[in-house]
Every structure is written in structure tokens, then in C-alpha cells.
Copies of this chain bind each other. A is one copy, B any other.
Amino acid sequence: MRKTDVLVIGGSAGGILTATTSKKVYKDKSVLLVRKTGTVMVPCGIPYIFGTLNDTAKNRIPDTIITNVGVNLVVDEVTKINKENKTVFLSNGEEIAYDKLVLAIGSTPIIPKFIEGFNLENVFPILKSEVYLQDLLEKLKAMQDVVVIGGGFIGVEFAEQLQKNGKNVTLVEVAERCLWQAFDNEACETAEEAMKSNGITIKTGIKVNRIIGTDKVQSVEVEGGESIKADAVILGMGVIPNSALAQEAGISINAQGAILVDEYMRTSEKDIFAVGDCAEKRCFFTNKNIPIMLASTAAMEAKVAAANLFGLKYVRANKGTISAFSTKIYNKTYAAAGLTERRASEEGFEIVIGQFTTMDKHPGSLPGASKIELKMIFIKTSGVLLGAQIVGGDSVGEMINILSLAIQQGLTANELNTFQVATHPLITSSPIAYPINAAALDAMTK
């Protein structure tokens, strides 16, 4: 029987990073990654296959990332875990023994079975398989009218890319605003305006009544009775954790179907870990179970798990997700970390807001300068940073990570008002108007 010290199931972000990190930390251990698909897509790159990239092959994570550091790779499906014998079975019948097992088995898009017509031809959930996406790319070429259901990141990114590729796109979101989970209203409105002004029809605060068609979808009927012509429907309604394999093996899962883990990503079973979308997520601020599944959270969990597989070597643990996001919609970048003002208030925090708007180069007359709008949410009495949202040029994609770090470290407005930053005319805001310093001062002086 084949034997490996570390066996990782799953080939996306969480699986890859657990496998490669464990090989770097435990150089003498053998590491095997088993995945179902022949190729792996960059998960967050999937919307860009349908516009910017126009090709699935350009969106592959190369296997050399795994194999170059000495991780072994098997393409097959794990059908069963025998935790007593510490083995797994592949679909070809092979049994493989492990010392430590890591489940990085991901999530599955929500299929809205409660909507009539959900299973018509040309209603597409977004799966991560290259074969499926290549087929979708081909099919969409002949189609003109596309309805995207769901205005979260995936829905918005698909809508933007398909519009850029010449499609007639309508985005339907049941909540009052697109992107409302990550941003407060100001940023959501900016994003919606950008989409509208580029020709996307946005319908927010509106439910889908039914999807209409005989074999193929023909239209989508929304609340109020309006019927929207549709050659295709893209479903961006969220994902649910994969956990059947774990549940069948007797590993504990929560009510939402996510695998229970401790701060070191250990499941209820000795020697079995779980990371990424399949593992339960907890909120950094409240420790509540929250359904936010991101590749960047998976990456953190993978690093925590990998470093601590053979005994808890490193004290740094998973203290919960801070929900750090970013995206680009037309010419602006939208980035957020931590709690929104809305969620902070709902959770009962007494808050104070700091805001600042400036240019991302100095002088602002420099070619290519963009406006940066920063909003920071602090606890009123202690000044501790709870969340931040930025809309601006590309540089805010890294600026949000300054604030991600600040949130994770529990830093205060006072510390962020005076922290030292590198600045340069061609690359950043002015040192006298650096947005993080300035928004922190704004909060302090309110």
C-alpha cells in the first residue's frame, strides 16, 4: 500500500498552499496532493476568462507550483476516508495510507431549486472545472442577452466582463445594493453607477420569480412581473461547503455543513485537518460562525495548518476571518477589510467613522492620478480599528492590506494617525495627505 506522511485532498488554493507549505516546513516528510481535475483554475480569475483573458488555458495554476517543491500529485477522486486505519480510497480502488490528512475539498455553487426553471438549458452555475468553463466560454460566444442572478463579487465581476465582451447584461440582486456584504452604501453606489454608465442594467431589491423557457432559457421573470430576455443565465448566488466525504467518515460538521475546526485547523478527528471553503469560518471580531469563503482566507488557514501538522510548532493560529476583499470594476478598485459600518452597528459596537479623500499621486496633476476615497470604522472609546473600505486606483489593492494587518493587530486610530509611510510623487498620495493617517485623525477629532 502506498504511504505518505501528509495527504492533502483538493487542488485549489487551500490544498496547494497546505501541500507546498508543509513540504517547506517539514522537509523530510513526504507530501501527496490528490485532486479530481486534470487542471486547476485560478479561482478568483474565473470571471476574467469571459472578457480579459478569453481563454481558460491562460487561467491555469501550473502544476510546477506543487511539483517543483517536491510535492507528489495524483489526479483522481478520493471516495472514502477510513480514519481508524488512517487510509483513503481512490475511485480506481487504490488505498493510500497517511500520517496526517488535510481536507481542502472546497465548496459548491448554490443551485436555486426554489426558483422554477432553475434546471433549464443555458442556466449556468459557476463551477471551477476547466472543461466546464471552456464549454461555457464557447456557448456564450453565440449568445447576446445574459441575466446574472446575484450581485456579490462573482455576479458583479461576471456582469462587468460579459458587458466588456459585448453582451447585453442585466444584473438582478435581491438585496438593496450590489456588494452590500463588503461595503457600505457609498461604495456600492459608486460601483452600481459605473456599471450602469457602461450599459449594464441593474435591478436591486428585486427577487427572481421564475426562469422561463421550454428546453432552453428564454427569459427571466422578476418581482413585479417584468420579463427580461435571456439567452443565458449566470448564477452568482453564493456557495456552500463541501463536506459529504468528511461527514461519511464521521468527522463533525456544523449546521451549515461546514467541517468543524479548532484554531489550528484540526477537525474532530485526530490527525485530520480541514482548510478553505469546506472548513467552518468564524468572524475575527465576534467568533460567530459566518459564511464568508475567500481564497485569501483559505491561504491563511493553509499556512496555519501546514506549519502545525506535526505538533503545534507555531503559536500563531487562526483567529477568524477579517473578510479582506478586493475587486476591480471598470477603472476603479474596490477594497474592504473587517466590519462595515452597518455590520459593526448590528453587532452592537459603538463606533466612530474616519474618512478622507485625496489623490493617489502628488501633485494630483501627475498623469494617471486617481482619486482615493477611504472610510475607516473604529470603536468609539478604545479607538480600535474594526473595518475599512477604499475606492480608488490600483494601489488601493495593497493599501487595504495595511489596514488588514492593522485590524489583525488591534491597532488604534492614534497609532494609525502617526505611523510612518513611504511616499513618492509618482506612486502614492502626499505625505501631508496620506489617507490612512488622515482618516485616522479625522476619527480622532470628531
Determine which of B418, B420, B425 lies in contact with A404 in the assembled complex, contact meaning CB atoms within 8 Å: B420
Per-residue interface assignment for chain A, residues 53 to 78, with 1 indicating a CB less than 8 Å from any chain B CB and 0 otherwise? 10000111100010000000000000
Known A299-B432, A405-B402, A415-B316; contact A423-B44, beta-carbon cutoff 8 A: yes
Which of A90-98, A125-133, A230-238, A392-400 forms contacts with chain B? A392-400
Residues 399-415 of A at the B interface (beta carbon under 8 Å): 399-402, 404-406, 408-409, 411, 414-415
Expressed in whole angstroms, the minimum distance between the Cβ of A52 and any Cβ of chain B is 7
Q: Are B431 and A299 in contact (CB under 8 A)?
A: yes
**What is the CA–CA distance of A316 and B419 in the complex, to the nearest angstrom?**
9
Expressed in whole angstroms, the minimum distance between the Cβ of A391 and any Cβ of chain B is 13
Expressed in whole angstroms, the minimum distance between the Cβ of A155 and any Cβ of chain B is 15
Which residue on B lies nearest to A426, using beta carbons?
B328
Is A312 interfacial (CB 8 A cutoff)? no
Per-residue interface assignment for chain A, residues 417 to 438, with 1 indicating a CB less than 8 Å from any chain B CB and 0 otherwise? 1111111111110111110010
Determine which of B25, B307, B432 lies in contact with A13 in the assembled complex, contact meaning CB atoms within 8 Å: B432
Determine which of B316, B324, B365, B422 lies in contact with A401 in the assembled complex, contact meaning CB atoms within 8 Å: B422
Residues 20-58 of A at the B interface (beta carbon under 8 Å): 20-21, 24-25, 27, 42, 44-45, 48, 52-53, 58
Which residue on B lies nearest to A400, using beta carbons?
B422
- B-chain residues with CB within 8 Å of residue A367 when the two chains form the complex: 52
Which residue on B lies nearest to A284, using beta carbons?
B420
Which of A2-10, A205-213, A221-229, A290-298 forms contacts with chain B? A290-298
Q: Are B431 and A296 in contact (CB under 8 A)?
A: yes
Is A337 interfacial (CB 8 A cutoff)? yes
Is A445 interfacial (CB 8 A cutoff)? yes
How many residues on A have C-beta within 8 angstroms of the other chain's C-beta atoms? 88
Q: Are B424 and A44 in contact (CB under 8 A)?
A: yes
Expressed in whole angstroms, the minimum distance between the Cβ of A154 and any Cβ of chain B is 12
Expressed in whole angstroms, the minimum distance between the Cβ of A140 and any Cβ of chain B is 19
- B-chain residues with CB within 8 Å of residue A316 when the two chains form the complex: 414-415, 417-418
Is A255 interfacial (CB 8 A cutoff)? no
Expressed in whole angstroms, the minimum distance between the Cβ of A377 and any Cβ of chain B is 16
Expressed in whole angstroms, the minimum distance between the Cβ of A17 and any Cβ of chain B is 5
**What is the CA–CA distance of A430 and B335 in the complex, to the nearest angstrom?**
16
- B-chain residues with CB within 8 Å of residue A298 when the two chains form the complex: 431
Q: Are B404 and A366 in contact (CB under 8 A)?
A: no
Q: Are A405 and B405 in contact (CB under 8 A)?
A: yes
Expressed in whole angstroms, the minimum distance between the Cβ of A430 and any Cβ of chain B is 7
Which residue on B lies nearest to A335, using beta carbons?
B422
Determine which of B324, B333, B428 lies in contact with A421 in the assembled complex, contact meaning CB atoms within 8 Å: B324
- B-chain residues with CB within 8 Å of residue A366 when the two chains form the complex: 48, 52-53
